[in-house]
């Protein structure tokens, strides 16, 4: 491989997450000593290529949102690296960190809590621009913000309104406009539609899809709704208890899930085309173990229908089992 | 944004113009509260009268007039004269100046200190929080009265005027506000808009000033009214005991202290009843305003 080809292969990967860990210390006792840790994210690795959408699914509490927030450095990861355009951003501070945030933006989960109730919508959307481009102001800035508002499907007079005057779906559009304002390369969408009505969900999802083409965006799409993820993503990563279980293309993961956990998840999705037929559902026994005290070996072995003796001893690593399909399971060792 | 009132009387009954800031909505709600508005008008009139006292009357308030001691109310002296022959009505006006001024300045200084300490402790958390809050506890633990009396005894005659009193009250009083602001910031910063403010490149000072404080301000304003009333009471109480503003400076508390003499208390109500009444009404008015502000900012009205 020539050097230019090598460079090209590297630049294609916009984001690369290697063995990311986010442990929250648990303090207790008289002197607030650290007596343990909640391992919210415990060694997550994946990469996102330019222009694609990686969906991250998993039950609540499995560390999806924490992964998203650590990438943006809203949380300081305990260990691991996050390479953005080849640069490790986990150790950045001060000005460099602020600079990198221009390129990575976030759409938040709760449209009611993610907008400042005291600010006009115009101020909310123009604030990121004001933060980075001091020279842009006045009519020029206003026109730019109006443009953004119309682009996400809001009326222009929304500029002078307050967040409380909008519905949940419209508020989420405001949040999207704010994330777009800096023309980022990567947008982390943290369950952007889970708080919305189903009818509004599809509108917002379609808007995100349109914007992706128009602004050349790359998405990390976090969700717990499998049908939403299927609609949005090119590739899908399945998380369980702070670990990635399987990463693969959307088509292969739905056609032939390899990891037992993925198989159980996919079998739970109702399929309208198979009405009347008997569904083979894999029902998982028991509860998700506490991330404060995760099981040894494979985190899923306590509930896995195919668990072997070895599963409680060895922690499986992500391995490419089929082309493009990475699975962390000892069945495929 | 300002809401332009509609001149057409027919349209007045229709729905108010839509886009109103939370502030404008609160103001509208406050204006509808009759008790609070009456209290506000009373307070404004009182303040204007007090601060314009030198221009309203030409009587010298400090001059002792032995020939006119203990006169009951008359057309010449509306509220009579006190044991030193000074006009009670004029002293009441001047007393309002001192009492309101002490109340307002103490409230301002306390809010300033309390909000800064509370906001920094709440926002940064961790060791910063622990250290600031332990210091706050330390200040809160000072015995207020003893401290004021001792300081006044030390400074008596050296540093005159009300400045000492304002300084002492303020330095001892900010702990409660700091705690309140900290707890509000702690709960408010859990909202995603604070995370969003950081993620769009806001520096900590901007996140605090532009996002957290405006949302905490409603609580602070309500607290400020209570504080204002408390400070006026504190000033009066200390002055009544003789540890407040110097005796020669008229304040409502100083005027009340005349009632410590049994003959004044029994036979000369015109000397001590006016300051007592005006004090009661002022405190009540401030509390009604505070109550009105609290209602106006009730979070159920927006969000």
CB proximity B192 to A under 8 Å: yes
CB proximity A172 to B under 8 Å: no
> What does the alpha-carbon distance between residue B186 and residue B199 come to, in Å, rounded to a whole number?
19
Domain range summary for chain A, segments of one domain joined by +: 111-183
Residues B208-225 have a mean pLDDT of: 86
The nearest CA of chain B is from the CA of A210 a distance in Å of 22
The nearest CA of chain A is from the CA of B128 a distance in Å of 15
> What does the alpha-carbon distance between residue A174 and residue A154 come to, in Å, rounded to a whole number?
8
pLDDT averaged over every residue in chain A: 86
Residue A174 pLDDT exceeds 60:
yes
Residues B137-142 have a mean pLDDT of: 88
- Give the DSSP per-residue string, B139-178: HHTS-HHHHHHHHHHHHTTTS-SSHHHHHHHHHHHHHHHH
Q: Which of B146, B162, B157 is nearest to B109 (CA)?
A: B162
The nearest CA of chain A is from the CA of B198 a distance in Å of 8
> What does the alpha-carbon distance between residue A49 and residue A8 come to, in Å, rounded to a whole number?
11
> What does the alpha-carbon distance between residue A157 and residue A170 come to, in Å, rounded to a whole number?
13
The nearest CA of chain A is from the CA of B38 a distance in Å of 28
Mutate to test the interface with B, among A124, A162, A167, A191 (most CBs of B within 10 A): A162
A289 or B75, higher pLDDT: A289
Q: Is A36 helix (H, G, I), strand (E, B) or coil?
A: strand
How many inter-chain contacts (A to B, CB under 8 Å) are there? Answer: 79
Mutate to test the interface with B, among A118, A119, A159, A177 (most CBs of B within 10 A): A118
pLDDT band (50, 70, 90) for residue A107 = very high
Residue of B nearest to A181 (CA): B200
Return the percentage of chain A with pLDDT > 90, whole number: 29
Written as six digits, the tokens of A259 are: 């990891």
Using one digit for the tens of pLDDT, what is the confidence trace for A234-268?
999 999 998 999 999 988 888 888 999 998 888 88
Q: Which of B58, B39, B55, B70 is nearest to B263 (CA)?
A: B70
CB proximity B300 to A under 8 Å: no
Strands A53-57 and A218-222: parallel
Domain range summary for chain B, segments of one domain joined by +: 37-52+76-297
Q: Which of B166, B175, B123 is nearest to B148 (CA)?
A: B166
In A, which residues are within 8 Å of B303 by CB distance?
A: 112, 117, 164
In B, which residues are within 8 Å of A181 by CB distance?
A: 200
Residue A324 pLDDT exceeds 60:
yes
Residue B97 pLDDT exceeds 60:
yes
Q: Which of B190, B174, B193, B181 is nearest to B217 (CA)?
A: B181
The Cα-based distances of B133 to A332, B117, B175, B190 in angstroms read: 55, 8, 9, 20
Question: Cβ of A74 and B191 within 8 Å?
Answer: no
A318: left (phi over 0), alpha (psi -120 to 50) or beta: beta
pLDDT band (50, 70, 90) for residue A225 = confident
Residue B274 pLDDT exceeds 60:
yes
Question: Please, which residues have CB within 8 angstroms of residue A180's CB and are 6 or more apart in sequence?
Answer: A105, A148, A151, A152, A187, A211, A215
Q: Which of B303, B293, B301 is nearest to B33 (CA)?
A: B293
pLDDT averaged over every residue in chain B: 80
CB proximity B199 to A under 8 Å: yes
Residue B302 pLDDT exceeds 70:
no
In B, which residues are within 8 Å of A136 by CB distance?
A: none
Question: Cβ of B191 and A164 within 8 Å?
Answer: no
Residue of B nearest to A180 (CA): B200
Residues A73-79 have a mean pLDDT of: 88
Which range has the worst mean pLDDT, B53-62, B170-179, B221-230? B53-62
Question: Cβ of B193 and A69 within 8 Å?
Answer: no
Residue B68 pLDDT exceeds 90:
no
Residues B96-110 have a mean pLDDT of: 89
Multiple choice CATH, B37-52+76-297, 3.30.1320.10, 3.40.50.10740, 1.10.3720.10, 3.30.530.20: 1.10.3720.10
Quick check: A145 and A157 in contact, CB under 8 A? Answer: no
CB proximity B189 to A under 8 Å: no
Question: Please, which residues have CB within 8 angstroms of residue A186's CB and are 6 or more apart in sequence?
Answer: A14, A15, A48, A84, A103, A104, A105, A217, A218, A219, A220
Question: Cβ of A160 and B302 within 8 Å?
Answer: no
Using one digit for the tens of pLDDT, what is the confidence trace for A119-160?
889 999 999 999 888 888 788 899 999 999 999 999 888 888
Residues B141-163 have a mean pLDDT of: 75
Note the Cα A10 to chain centre separation in Å: 21
Residues B293-297 have a mean pLDDT of: 82
pLDDT band (50, 70, 90) for residue B7 = very low
pLDDT band (50, 70, 90) for residue B235 = confident
The Cα-based distances of B282 to B132, B225, B258 in angstroms read: 35, 12, 20
What was the pLDDT predicted at B208? Answer: 86
pLDDT band (50, 70, 90) for residue B115 = very high
Residue of B nearest to A127 (CA): B200
Written as six digits, the tokens of A267 are: 């079998």
Residues B36-46 have a mean pLDDT of: 91
Question: Cβ of B199 and A74 within 8 Å?
Answer: yes
Question: Cβ of B22 and A162 within 8 Å?
Answer: yes
Residues A285-290 have a mean pLDDT of: 82
Burial of A163 per CB tally in 10 Å (0-12, 13-18, 19+) = buried
What was the pLDDT predicted at A76? Answer: 87
In B, which residues are within 8 Å of A101 by CB distance?
A: 199-201
Phi/psi at B82 (nearest 5 deg)? -95, -170
């Amino acid at each position: 491989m020539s050097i230019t080809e090598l460079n090209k292969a590297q630049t294609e990967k916009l984001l690369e997450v290697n063995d990311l860990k986010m442990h929250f210390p648990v303090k207790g006792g008289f002197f607030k000593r650290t007596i343990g840790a909640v391992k919210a994210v415990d060694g997550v690795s994946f990469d996102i290529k330019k222009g694609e959408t990686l969906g991250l699914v998993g039950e609540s509490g499995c560390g999806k949102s924490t992964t998203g927030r650590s990438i943006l450095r809203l949380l300081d990861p305990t260990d691991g690296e996050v390479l953005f355009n080849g640069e490790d951003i986990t150790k950045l501070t001060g000005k460099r960190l602020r600079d990198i945030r221009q390129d990575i933006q976030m759409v938040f989960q709760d449209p009611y809590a993610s907008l400042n109730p005291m600010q006009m919508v115009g101020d909310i959307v123009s604030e990121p621009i004001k933060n980075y481009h001091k020279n842009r102001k006045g009519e020029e800035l206003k026109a730019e913000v109006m443009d953004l508002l119309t682009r996400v499907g809001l009326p222009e007079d929304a500029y002078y309104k307050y967040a409380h005057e909008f519905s949940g779906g419209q508020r989420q559009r405001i949040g999207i406009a704010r994330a777009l304002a800096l023309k980022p390369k990567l947008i982390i969408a943290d369950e952007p539609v889970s708080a919305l009505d189903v009818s509004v969900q599809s509108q917002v999802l379609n808007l995100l899809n349109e914007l992706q083409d128009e602004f050349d965006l790359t998405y990390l799409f976090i969700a717990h709704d499998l049908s939403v993820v299927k609609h949005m993503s090119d590739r899908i990563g399945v998380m369980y208890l702070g670990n990635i279980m399987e990463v693969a293309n959307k088509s292969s993961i739905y056609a032939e899930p390899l990891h037992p956990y993925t198989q159980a998840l996919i079998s739970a999705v109702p399929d309208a085309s198979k009405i009347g037929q008997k569904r083979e559902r894999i029902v998982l026994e028991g509860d998700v173990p506490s991330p404060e005290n995760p099981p040894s070996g494979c985190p899923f072995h306590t509930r896995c229908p195919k668990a072997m003796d070895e599963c409680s001893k060895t922690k499986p690593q992500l391995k490419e089992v089929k082309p493009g399909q990475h699975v962390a399971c000892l069945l495929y060792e | 944004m300002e809401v332009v009132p509609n001149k057409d009387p027919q349209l007045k009954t229709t729905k108010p113009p839509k886009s109103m800031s939370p502030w404008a909505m609160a103001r509208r709600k406050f204006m509808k509260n009759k008790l609070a508005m009456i209290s506000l008008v009373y307070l404004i009139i009182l303040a204007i009268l007090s601060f314009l006292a030198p221009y309203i009357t030409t009587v010298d308030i400090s001059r002792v007039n032995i020939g006119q001691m203990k006169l009951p109310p008359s057309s010449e002296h509306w509220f009579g004269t006190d044991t030193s022959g000074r006009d009670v009505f004029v002293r009441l006006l001047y007393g309002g100046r001192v009492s309101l001024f002490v109340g307002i300045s103490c409230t301002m200084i306390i809010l300033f200190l309390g909000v800064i300490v509370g906001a920094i402790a709440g926002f940064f958390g961790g060791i910063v929080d622990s250290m600031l809050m332990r210091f706050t506890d330390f200040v809160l633990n000072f015995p207020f009265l003893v401290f004021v009396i001792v300081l006044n005894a030390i400074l008596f005659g050296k540093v005159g005027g009300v400045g000492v009193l304002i300084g002492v009250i303020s330095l001892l009083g900010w702990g409660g506000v700091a705690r309140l602001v900290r707890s509000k910031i702690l709960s408010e910063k859990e909202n995603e808009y604070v995370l969003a403010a950081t993620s769009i490149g806001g520096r900590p000072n901007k996140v605090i000033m532009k996002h957290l404080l405006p949302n905490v301000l409603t609580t602070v304003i309500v607290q400020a009214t209570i504080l204002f009333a408390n400070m006026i009471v504190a000033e009066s109480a200390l002055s009544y005991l003789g540890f407040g503003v110097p005796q020669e400076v008229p304040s409502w508390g100083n005027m009340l202290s005349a009632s410590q003499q049994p003959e004044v208390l029994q036979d000369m109500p015109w000397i001590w009843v006016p300051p007592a009444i005006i004090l009661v009404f002022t405190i009540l008015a401030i509390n009604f305003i505070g109550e009105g502000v609290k209602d106006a900012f009730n979070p159920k009205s927006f969000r």
